[in-house]
Amino acid sequence: MVTPEIIEASKQWLTSTFDAETQKEIQDLIDNNPEELTDRFYKNMEFGTGGMRGVMGAGTNRINKYTLGKATQGLSDFLIQNNPNKELSTVIAYDCRHNSKEFAKVVADVFTANGIKVFLFDDLRTTPELSFAVRYLKADAGIVLTASHNPPEYNGYKVYGADGCQITPPNDGLIINEVNKVSFDKINFNANEDLLTYIGEEVDNAFNQVSVDNGTFGDVDRSALKIVFTALHGTSIKSVPQVLDKAGFSDVHIVEEQATPNGDFPTVKSPNPEEPEALEMATSLANKIGADILMGCDPDSDRLGIAVRDLEGNMKLLNGNQTMILMTDFLINQKKKAGKLNGTQFTATTIVSSEMVKVLADHYGIDTVITLTGFKWIGKAIADNPSKDFVGGGEESFGYMIGDFVRDKDAVTSCLLACEMAAHAKANGTTLYKQLLDIYIQHGYYKESLISITKKGMDGATQIQEMIADFRANPMKEILGSPVKYVCDYESSIKKNLITGEETTIDIPKSNVLIYHTEDGTKVCVRPSGTEPKIKFYFGAKGTLTSHDQAETVEAQLDQKIKDVIVALNLN
């Protein structure tokens, strides 16, 4: 049964503030689909600390012209209030999703209606190029219309500050306050086309060049590397092949069936390179032509999946932590070879990612900044350490960033770097996989895994909160017989040693995350997703590797240990 509050909220969308098509859609739901009506109006589409992401459609809990207009009006108000007497400008990019191009123009219209100049890309572009363009054009903010790897019915809106990084405290909270003040009838959609400039080739060329400058190292035969690349119907087709070609990688084979941008993502269940199924076509092509490496990007080209040849010559998909470990080790080594490793360097990663990044950095004598989940925090770490040299940083969810010219996950330059590393390895008679095993032999074999439990709708959101509340109220004392040594509660900012009872303060922003560390090196993290109706569980285990030929056995042991943890927590 629909509550009176839902009826009242939905009837507001039948007024003249909203266009006829929207009114018709809402009236049809009122008449015929009370369950769908409830889902669309039981809450407002939340403008969170990075923007919004959700299912498209009419209603307060959907991505549409009006929820995007409200967000943009609030952002405009913030920019105007905080930059008096300044000629303001923003950059807007959009991906391949349904309505992204139209939504981008709506956002541009609201900005120009408020007297803010807009640089709008003339066609779809990658998220990392948007981040780069904000600083390149000296804009005050940036917007990208994307829902990353979510299903086709989703779209979203990510907000970037003048530094090219997704908004962070305190500005995120101030912008949210302004957005929340805006009523739908106060959105100014009356565009001033004189303030709109379309951009394209100039920014492309600048971005591609700086990617090559940051993603290539020394002389190596790049033409000897055989590469397979898939865009998974997304924006990366606009940048990755061009950057690889500019760098000198000439033996590149594109999965043509997935090269055309398409918001339906017709050849995959999910356009997410974290999932092996998404890369099946690329793997087939790689096996057919004997490729050394294959790569695939998500729709907005911030996430990167890589597969390389294992010891038996089969294509093996690296997880995000493994890619991050290889890239971090390579970049630090390049600094070392160039005589530039002087102690001012640092790398960055997140609380749910592999412990091994810090182990590597410690080995080379450089600092590691560990942040909350999300690349905006890594971008903020760069801003917070202006006198230090940022080498690179990443997170477990298949994202990496090289240098600081982009302040978000950058699959474009990361694709180039992956090929550069593989080319150097091939020239030295080895492979990326063997190099990964060498790192494990030296520092320990760290293996991680992730499971997500989806809980949709209003009831699902409640269940997710109940699950993490239960973990918080009843902390685990041991995991598979190994005592829990530390419980880190990022909501209360307390790290507690369960053995000694000692409590210390966690000096990063608060977040609804719990992490358990056992005496034997096992790690379990519980975290509700900030962008999807999911609660995520991250697992880590550590083993010892003494030779390449033990790798399969040790990996199987660690995988089984993680499976046993999942069973012990009743998550299977």
Active-site pick, 100, 148, 414, 511? 148
The residue written with tokens 């905006």 in the block is 376
Return d(Cα 421, Cα 308) in angstroms, integer: 11
SS (H, E, C) 463-494: HHHHHHHHHHHCCCCEECCEEEEEEEECCCCE
Return d(Cα 444, Cα 325) in angstroms, integer: 12
Return d(Cα 91, Cα 129) in angstroms, integer: 11
Return d(Cα 474, Cα 517) in angstroms, integer: 15
Q: Is 381 left (phi over 0), alpha (psi -120 to 50) or beta?
A: alpha
The residue written with tokens 């918001």 in the block is 263
Using DSSP bridges, classify how beta strands 494-497 and 482-489 pair: parallel, antiparallel or unpaired.
Answer: antiparallel
The amino acid occupying position 56 is: M
**Residue 369: CA atoms inside 13 Å, Cβ hemisphere, count?**
26
The total of other beta-carbon atoms located within 10 Å of residue 168's CB is 21
Return d(Cα 409, Cα 302) in angstroms, integer: 5
SS (H, E, C) 119-150: EEECCCCCHHHHHHHHHHCCCCEEEEECCCCC
The total of other beta-carbon atoms located within 10 Å of residue 195's CB is 18
Q: Using an 8 Å Cβ cutoff, are 245 and 217 in contact?
A: no
DSSP structure class, residue 303: -
Return d(Cα 365, Cα 383) in angstroms, integer: 21
Q: Using an 8 Å Cβ cutoff, are 175 and 162 in contact?
A: no
Q: Is 387 a catalytic residue?
A: no
Q: How far is CA 521 from the centre of its chain?
A: 27
Return d(Cα 300, Cα 270) in angstroms, integer: 13
Q: Is 320 left (phi over 0), alpha (psi -120 to 50) or beta?
A: alpha
Using DSSP bridges, classify how beta strands 51-55 and 154-160 pair: parallel, antiparallel or unpaired.
Answer: antiparallel
Query: b vs e for 309-334, b when ≥16 Cβ sit within 10 Å of the residue's Cβ?
Result: bbeeeebbbbbbbbbbbbbbbbbbeb
Return d(Cα 236, Cα 238) in angstroms, integer: 5
The residue written with tokens 């590797």 in the block is 545
Distances (CA, A) of 364 to 108, 353, 385, 441, 462: 46, 19, 19, 16, 45
**Residue 458: CA atoms inside 13 Å, Cβ hemisphere, count?**
12
Query: b vs e for 358-370, b when ≥16 Cβ sit within 10 Å of the residue's Cβ?
Result: bbbbeebebebbb
Catalytic residues: 148
